[in-house]
Amino acid sequence: MVSQHGILLAAGIIFDHFGPLVSKVCRCLLRHGALPLQEIVRRLDLSPGQVKNSLLVLIQHNCVQAFSSPRGGGDKTATHYLAIFDNILHRLRFSKFLSVIRADIPESEALLEGLLHNGRLTFDQLVERAIYKVTEGSIRPAREEIRMNFNKLVYAHYVERCPKPEPFVDPLQDEQPTSTRKRVPKTVGKDLSFDKKVVNTAALSDAEKFSEIPYITEDASHANDSPHSAIAGAKRKHEALGVDEELNSTIAENEVLWRANFEKFIFCLKKKFCAERKKPKLRVGTRPIWEAFFEANLTNKDDNSVTSPLNGILARVGQKEGGTSMTIDHVTRVLEELNCSPSSEDPDAFTLDLSRIVEASRYEEMESLVKKKYGQEAFTIFRLLVTQDCPVETDKIIDTTILDKQIVHGTLYKLWKDDYIDSERIASGTGTGNSQFFVWRVKNTFQEQFIDNLYHAALNLRQMINYIIELLLEGSKDETKLRHRKNILILALTRHDDSLMLFHDF
């Protein structure tokens, strides 16, 4: 379940991008979970037309997924609409997604931009857009060229075919296994929320998602094509293709809807975050190896690890300053010190578990905030509580931290008052000299509350930006100054979004 300020933030983003009506519908869905059309109409007191249009906008932009589920006892089904919180928040990071492509496949940036802008498009629509966007005097891109650049995006999984428009999901069927699954240890199978199940049911298989547009002869009817369409390197399989392939290709170009694959972008940003995060901690001489490891990464088996072949790492190390003198032994030893272990599938490759870096970074952020707000002693105590598996008794905190008793008492009280930690009174056995003890631990809702504060802070930044935009529209005072402030705030929101990703998406 999304926290209160998370919902407000998501609705705020939709408000900024699509206006008040769409935002209202979105907020209703985020609050109440999936709902059928009539129910949204009833709750919001809007006309069915208004709600329908809002839903269409949200679906077009991948913020809502429709699904049908059984109604009553019979065979009847009803269409429900589910808001996808993550996808709404991704709207804050489109500029980051674009910079990923700029670094990787710069020639395809405009295509991705088209998809981000429009939510989902057919290839035909993308071609139209590309041609429409051409500035006067520059060469019109050939359809073939656009297709090639587009296929690069699909091949690298940056772009995917859209999920099924309205899959069938039975909530009851989903709930039964959940109750038994609860007893299974967490490692066996993650307990999926209903929302996640809907999204998973709608998703196509990877093979379907990332199947590229086949190359075929250029159809004369493609009026958009420029005459010089033969691009070096583009493989024509004209003769080999039969009628079926031609049909497939036409469908892939004219009917299939494509969209950005947010998961891939988030993974790229996560990888970048982890690589950067650890850099300041690296010992002298290990940085080139660390960088080479990330640069040599080609494919990934999951979203939590990076695997790079040793050959690739060595080649990259060799290109770095001081890298030529490093022996294989040295490189592999440093890799292991950096927690990159030999891959279980390929002995000549090394794998790094990103989740450990992410988890540690989250704690670092929380601890750092405690230090900033409550001082060094609070930081020490908080870290002690975080690193212990069980609640810790006051005297033990005093003994372990070697801090003054009064300071420990005062700090514990402050942290407790502000809901960082929990305390419990334990009656002691006789003969101990004390009638009771207090034990302390980090509150188990602490991380959720911390995330809610992150959303709250983002919401406030957004409100400030809008406030300044209003001031600018009023034409008040110093415009340059206001513009400058606005830019500071926009930059701050972009940076702050890194924290949102760290705690929610990575």
Closer residue to other proteins (CB): 208 or 478: 478
CB of 41 to other proteins, least distance (A): 26
- For the chain, the straight-line distance linking the first and the last C-alpha, in angstroms and rounded, comes to 17
**Taking the complex as a whole, how short is the minimal distance between the CB of residue 408 and other proteins, in angstroms?**
10
Question: Which residue in 14, 121, 335, 454 binds other proteins (CB under 8 A)?
Answer: 454
Kindly tell me which residue out of 281, 302, 321, 324 binds other proteins, with binding defined by CB under 8 A: 281
Candidates 217, 254, 341, 387; binder of other proteins (CB under 8 A) is 387
By CB under 8 A, name the one of 396, 469, 490, 504 that touches other proteins: 396
Residue 437 binds other proteins (CB under 8 A): yes
Instruction: Tell me how far apart the alpha carbons of residues 130 and 452 are, in angstroms, rounded to a whole number.
Output: 40
Q: How far is the CB of 346 from other proteins (least distance, A)?
A: 23
Query: 314 to 353, contacts with other proteins by CB under 8 A?
Result: 333-334, 336-337
490 near other proteins, judged by CB under 8 A: no
Strands 77-83 and 258-260 come out as unpaired
Six-digit token string for 387 = 């690193």
Per CB under 8 A, the list member of 299, 324, 432, 480 interacting with other proteins is: 432
Position 433 contacts other proteins (CB under 8 A): yes
Q: Does 92 bind other proteins (CB under 8 A)?
A: no
Sign, CA dihedral 85-86-89-91, equals: negative
Contacting other proteins (CB under 8 A), which of 191, 208, 348, 395?
A: 395
String marking each residue 189-228 x if it binds other proteins according to CB under 8 A:
----------------------------------------
Counting contacts by CB under 8 A, is residue 379 touching other proteins? yes
Going 470 to 463 to 270 to 256, the CA torsion angle's sign is: negative
Number of alpha helices (DSSP H) and beta strands (DSSP E) in the chain: 23, 11
Answer yes or no: are the C-beta atoms of 340 and 352 closer than 8 Å: yes
346 or 364: whose CB is closer to other proteins?
A: 364
Q: Which two tokens stand for residue 9?
A: 């933030």
H or E stretch at 386? helix 376-387
The minimum distance between CB 105 and other proteins, in angstroms, equals 29
> Could you say which residues in the range 350-369 bind other proteins, by CB under 8 A?
356, 359-361, 363-369
Instruction: By CB under 8 A, tell whether 390 contacts other proteins.
Output: yes
Pairwise CA distance, residues 12 & 4, whole Å: 12
Instruction: Based on the shown chain and the rule CB under 8 A, indicate whether residue 404 belongs to the binding site for other proteins.
Output: yes
How far is Cα 202 from Cα 277, in angstroms, rounded to an integer? 35
Binding-site member from 173, 200, 254, 463 for other proteins (CB under 8 A)? 463
Tokens of 248: 């497939």
What is the nearest approach in angstroms of other proteins to the Cβ of residue 335?
11
In the complex with other proteins, which residue's Cβ is closer, 76 or 425? 425
- Count of residues engaged in binding other proteins, rule: CB under 8 A: 81
Kindly provide the residue ranges of all beta strands, DSSP E only, lying in 20-169, ordered along the sequence.
35-36, 64-70, 77-83, 159-161
The residue assigned the tokens 């206001």 is: 482
360: its two tokens: 């540690």
Exposed (0-12), middle (13-18) or buried (19+): which is 75, by Cβ within 10 Å? exposed
Q: Cα–Cα distance between 213 and 248 in angstroms, integer? A: 8
133 binds other proteins (CB under 8 A): no
Tell me the backbone φ, ψ of residue 125, rounded to 5 degrees. Answer: -65, -35
How near is the Cβ of 467 to other proteins at its closest, in Å? 5
**Would you count residue 386 as binding other proteins (CB under 8 A)?**
yes
Cβ-contact 318, 328 below 8 angstroms: no
